Amino acid sequence: MSDKKIGNKKIDRRSLLKFLGVAGAAAGASVMVPNSVISESKKMMFAKAEGGEEKGRQSYEVKPGEYDDYYGFWSGGHSGELRVLGIPSMRELKRIPVFNIDCGSGWGITNESKKLLKGLTVGDTHHVHGSYKDGTYDGKYLFVNDKINARIARVRIDYMETDAMIDIPNAQGLHGTFPQRYPKTEWLVTNTEFQIPVPNNPGAPQNEYYGLHTIVDAEKMAVVCQIMVEENLDLAATDYQGKYSMSTSYNSEQGVTISEMLAADHDYLLVFNWERIREALRKNNYKMINGVKVIDGRRGKSDIVLRIPVPKNPHGVNVSPDGKYAVCSGKVSPTCSVVEIAKIDQAFAGKIKPEECVVAQPEIGLGPLHTTFDGRGNAITSVFIDSTNVKWDLERAIKGEKKPIVDVLDVHYQVGHIMATMAETKEADGRWLISLNKMSKDRFINVGPLKPECEQLVDISGEKLRIVHDGTTYIEPHDCIMVRRDVIEPKVKHRYDMFEHPLAVTKSGVERKGKDVTVSLTANAPVYGLQEVKLKKGDRVTVIVTNHDEISDLTHGFALTNYNINFIVSPFQTKSVTFTADKPGVYWAYCTNFCHALHLEMRMRFIVEA
Ligand code: CUK
Ligand code: CUA
Ligand code: CA
């Protein structure tokens, strides 16, 4: 690494920290100090990590043809998608289009995807979580939020495909999203990071801007109710008993400017009492606003919400795999606040004050954002400003130790989310951790002003944290879960259930009703069921394609030239598309997905008469 590069990086980091200094006055002057250059010891660490096994550590080598131990499910940030990775190889296995348009799969081009997307074309996937049974994943669904257009999408794991999408009314900046963990996922919660008037009246004064904690029925994919509070609601978590959900708030001030949002010396972890929510629903203690039951959870208005004060402007909240503690990461404060969940019962019962639920507040580093767990009593926190992953001992913290640090690992750079294998379940196994870093800066050869994102895989099986993979990724590795292969693999199908799709084509043909033309096509390598279709200019045409090849991996495509149509159909899958034949002429439709030695010949004509 040349001096010049190091020099550049210093400047980058400095300007970034200066910006953070506006927001992070509480972090103090030492904000400038940490690891602004790559040390010799760090280079050594990489040298050591090369080549698989290190004495006494688990191997991270996945040989060609071998399978990974874990499925990683990644949210793709403002790309709007989800991704599937193999862990620990970090091989990208698949992308699952959700809120984005994906030309390779045709998501956004077909009638099936348009029905869910309703014309929207952008999304920002932040938090991805799986459905649960008895505190661990059941391998059925993934859920993910869209921060831009306030939606929740569900992906069914058997097909690894988005199967449902709902709008969350009264919400903006849909954020922290978490499914019920116990006894199983009936509800999921999702937050609004941005407070707005409810209903959204532009003339409302600032102190009538509210945050909403929305409860969604996860099977029906329908909004159950919303709890309205003054605070903004950032990250979310559920407990392991089915009693509570909780959310951090950094803007309890109801501010609309950055300085207003930083005005108070503390904000809150809000805890929502599910029994009391059910009671409010039973007693009709709600108002209907935009078709949703809105329960008033404002201060002094109900006993549904417990507000536990934490240092100002916190960020993540994560519950330890034993279900005992919720760890609230400080962001502006260098601490994590450990909340004992048993004490929440007492606080709701009025036996103790909310602040007495905080049983430890260890110092972790500058800018703690998210915390994960190894299942052996350690927490690992991502520290943004320091660019570190910090491993610390929960018990030592609770006993009152100020800095119960076990190990500090430098990462590259500005880490956001981190997640350990199975860490959001009672089966946390402490093997791997991923550090999803917001910036790669000078780490890779230059590809222009927009640098690649950087993610690093960390072996957490030993006392010390050890980086075993350091790679780039497409924008933006936001959050993820890593799930044991045996939970997922048996649930995933090799082909679709053909007649699940009501339009599945068994016989190719053309049906005309006035200007509406339905073209039904089977696809069998290397032919479609028809060689040509005659249309008239102005026809409204629906093409339905069913893939009749049952061999797994034998996916066909369907693209109609100069008509902007492109999608794939996998074995026994059906997809459809509707378009207007507005251009006379001869147009070839062809198979886009290489399926056969005669794949190039797999094409047919659409003849549009003037
Ligand atoms: S928030 Cu982004 S680093 Cu949306 Cu998950 Cu914490
Ligand atoms: Cu079918 Cu290529
Ligand atoms: Ca605040």
Worst-scoring range by mean pLDDT, 74-83, 187-196, 470-479, 482-491?
470-479
Distance of alpha carbon 12 from alpha carbon 426, whole angstroms = 40
| Assigned domain for 598 exists | yes
176-200: b (≥16 Cβ within 10 Å) or e: bbbbbbbebbbbbbbbbbbbbebee
| Assigned domain for 49 exists | no
Q: Which domain holds residue 109?
A: 70-491
> DSSP letters along 366-418, please?
SSEEEEEE-SSSEEEEEETTTTEEEEEEHHHHHTT-S--EEEEEE-SS-EEEE
Of the listed ligands, the closest to the CA of 435 is 1
Same domain, 184 and 284: yes
Same domain, 278 and 316: yes
CB 236 within 8 A of CB 227: no
Closest C-alpha residue for ligand 1 atom 3: 416
Place of tokens 């960390």: 458
| CA 527, 530, 534, 537 torsion-angle sign | negative
The pLDDT of 81-87, averaged and rounded, is: 98
For the beta sheet containing 136-146, the strands, ordered from the edge strand earlier in sequence to the opposite edge, are 125-133, 136-146, 151-156, 161-167
| Assigned domain for 57 exists | no
Q: How many domains does the chain have?
A: 3
| Assigned domain for 46 exists | no
Q: Where residue 405 sits, what CATH number does that domain have?
A: 2.130.10.10
Distance of alpha carbon 477 from alpha carbon 141, whole angstroms = 20
First to last CA, the chain: 66
**Any ligand 2 atom below 6 A from CB of 588:** no
Ligand 2 atom nearest residue 593's Cα = 2
| Assigned domain for 58 exists | no
| Assigned domain for 47 exists | no
Checking if the pLDDT of 531 tops 50, the result is yes
Same domain, 407 and 303: yes
pLDDT in tens, 308-344: 999 999 999 999 999 999 999 999 999 999 999 999 9
**Any ligand 2 atom below 6 A from CB of 555:** no
Same domain, 415 and 513: no
Write down how long the chain is. 610
Q: Where residue 538 sits, what CATH number does that domain have?
A: 2.60.40.420
**Any ligand 2 atom below 6 A from CB of 521:** no
How far does residue 234's CA lie from ligand 1's centre (Å)?
9
Same domain, 104 and 253: yes
pLDDT score for 56 = 80
How far does residue 569's CA lie from ligand 2's centre (Å)?
10
**Any ligand 2 atom below 6 A from CB of 570:** no
What's the pLDDT band for 52 if we cut at 50, 70, 90? low
CB 270 within 8 A of CB 305: yes
Distance of alpha carbon 423 from alpha carbon 607, whole angstroms = 57
| CA 163, 246, 487, 433 torsion-angle sign | positive
| CA 194, 197, 202, 204 torsion-angle sign | negative
Same domain, 231 and 358: yes
Percent of the chain with pLDDT over 70: 91
How far does residue 579's CA lie from ligand 2's centre (Å)?
22
**If you average pLDDT over every residue of the chain, what do you get?**
92
Ligand 1 atom nearest residue 436's Cα = 3
CB 410 within 8 A of CB 465: no
Domain end point (choices 475, 491, 507): 491
| Assigned domain for 50 exists | no
As a dihedral over the C-alpha atoms of residue 335, residue 75, residue 326, residue 368, rounded to 10 degrees, the angle is: 0
CB 466 within 8 A of CB 458: yes
How far does residue 210's CA lie from ligand 2's centre (Å)?
52
Same domain, 464 and 527: no
Same domain, 300 and 418: yes
Domain end point (choices 449, 475, 491): 491
Same domain, 420 and 476: yes
pLDDT in tens, 257-287: 999 999 999 999 999 999 999 999 999 999 9
Same domain, 91 and 188: yes
Same domain, 505 and 424: no
How far does residue 360's CA lie from ligand 1's centre (Å)?
24
Same domain, 545 and 567: yes
Domain end point (choices 491, 521, 554): 491
Distance of alpha carbon 591 from alpha carbon 603, whole angstroms = 6
Backbone angles phi, psi at 409, to 5 degrees: -115, 125
Closest CA to 166 of 222, 114, 214: 222
